[in-house]
Structure 1
Amino acid sequence: MVRIVDCKGMPCPLPIITLRRAMAECEPGAELEVRLDSELSAHNVQRYLADHGVYLSLTQADGLYSGRFANPSALATEELPACATVLPEGGLNLSPTSSIGPEAPRASLVIIDADTLGRGCDELGGLLIKGLLSTLTEWDTPPTHVVLMNGGVRLAVGQSGTVETLRQLEHAGTAVWLCGTCVDHFGLAGELGVGQVRNMYDISRAISAAPRVIRL
């Protein structure tokens, strides 16, 4: 029986996350069919599968993309689901794509100092930071710490929409730390839904000890 992985209507990076979970649930050699309705998502899925030795040919009809493949014997070690920022020149290539392969995982401390990602449009930035946080839950080696500073502490507020994702990170063993000075500055002490409030001394020691620090 073919496992249908319906990713239509999903924003980046959910198609990759959904596909990755489906592959993990299926036996090696099982047949899967992925369905998408975005050219960018189709390109990302091709690239992701190529990273795992699967060369997916997609067909396109009426704005929908679909293709079948045999589940590989094992998922290669990876960190971030592929999420392209631009399409290849000339549009989507429906033939198998090449890949440079995933990087070996290393323990990381991630610093987030805003509740949006990038500049130009805060609404878009809010969607991007939510999408990026969801990818952290998929790392084979979760971050040792996610440190929220300045406006980033708003991501831990109950109605922010990112609390559940941060809780998933905690469940995976990641320490979610909030800058105490920042929490006090924004008056959020009574509104937090996740994480530990820590002082700058603790935070600086964690940064010093981390093998790799990623600042978003």
Structure 2
Amino acid sequence: MITVNAMGDNCPIPVIKTKKAMQELTGPETIEVLVDNEIAVQNVSKMAASSGGKVTSEKKGEKEFRIVIEMEGAPSQAAGEEEETACIPDARGNTVVVVSSDRMGEGNDALGKVLIKGFIFAVTQLDTLPKTMLFYNGGATLTCEGSDSLEDLKSLEAQGVEIMTCGTCLDYYGLKEKLAVGTVTNMYSIVETMAGAGRIIRP
């Protein structure tokens, strides 16, 4: 694994450092990029994905983020060229995603669980990320240990998306100690967040 330390670097330096490491590859390799802000996560992730990398990211602590890029080899010369010096603004809009179940739609439960996993992954691919994602009732299980969507949710959190799960729901399901991403919230905050949203998306 190659580590790119871009802690303390302002845009576009994290992108440039990462791009340089990618161009020096001679075969399949994993690149770890360390940055200290959400905008850098967004910019590096966008560039790496456009260059053919498989990208995941997570928040390790306050002002401490880790991006992992799996590459099959060096990108083509044109790939990601535009993003090398581009500093996109905060890619979060005033959208709130509300998830109230661990499955999507009605009918077959197994299919519903496949669909909700696909839905959350699709959120990670939006050009404009949501500001907040709210999880309550059965949806609370998706932010806890064992969830198939944890990797995607951690990636969203690393890019500044606020992940909030209903505390009453976690208590009801006995999951309060198993919350693995985001923070615990209450019904007042849930209502306040939804009331202030520019738009609300429900799977």
The answer for unaligned runs of 5 or more in structure 2 is: 1-45, 53-77, 84-91
Deviation, structure 1 residue 74: 7.7
> What letter matches 2:142 in structure 1?
L
Query: Within the alignment, does 1:166 sit opposite 2:153 as a pair?
Result: yes
Q: Give structure 1 stretches of 5+ with no counterpart.
A: 1-19, 27-69, 76-104
Aligned runs of 1:41-190 on 2, under 5 Å? 106-190=93-177
**TM-superposed deviation, 1:117:** 0.6
Kindly report the root-mean-square deviation, in angstroms, between the aligned alpha carbons of the 2 structures. 2.6
- 1:78-119 CA distances to partner (integer Å, 9 max, x unpaired)? xxxxxxxxxxxxxxxxxxxxxxxxxxx953100000000111
Q: Measure, in 1, the Cα distance between the counterparts of 2:175 and 2:110.
A: 21
Equivalent pairs counted in the alignment come to: 125
Report the structure, 1 or 2, having the larger strand content.
2
1:108·1:210 contact (CA, 8 Å) conserved in 2?
Answer: yes
Scaled by the length of structure 2, the TM-score of the pair is 0.55
CA shift at 1:192, angstroms?
1.4
Contact 1:107 1:141 in 2 (8 A): no
Instruction: Name the structure 2 match of 1:212.
Output: 199
Cα separation, 2, equivalents of 1:148 and 1:74: 36
Amino acid of the structure 2 residue aligned with 1:190: E
Equivalent residue for 2:179?
192
In structure 2, how many angstroms separate the alpha carbons of the residues matched to 1:206 and 1:190?
A: 24
> What is aligned with 2:51?
25
On the 8 A contact 1:106/1:212 being kept in 2, the answer is no
Cα deviation, 1:188-216, whole Å, max 9, x if unaligned, reads 11111111110111111111111111122
* Equivalence for 2:190: 203
Larger proportion of helix: 2
Q: What is the DSSP-based 3-state SS (H/G/I as helix, E as strand, rest coil) of the residue aligned with 1:133?
A: helix
Q: What SS does the corresponding residue of 2:133 show, helix, strand or coil?
A: strand
Which structure has the bigger radius of gyration?
1
Instruction: Check whether the contact 2:93–2:131 (CA below 8 A) recurs between aligned residues.
Output: no
Q: 1:27-51: per-residue Cα shift (whole Å, max 9, x none)?
A: xxxxxxxxxxxxxxxxxxxxxxxxx
- Residue identity (%): 37
Partner Cα separation in structure 2 for residue 21 and residue 123 of structure 1 = 35
1:185 is displaced (CA, Å) by 0.9
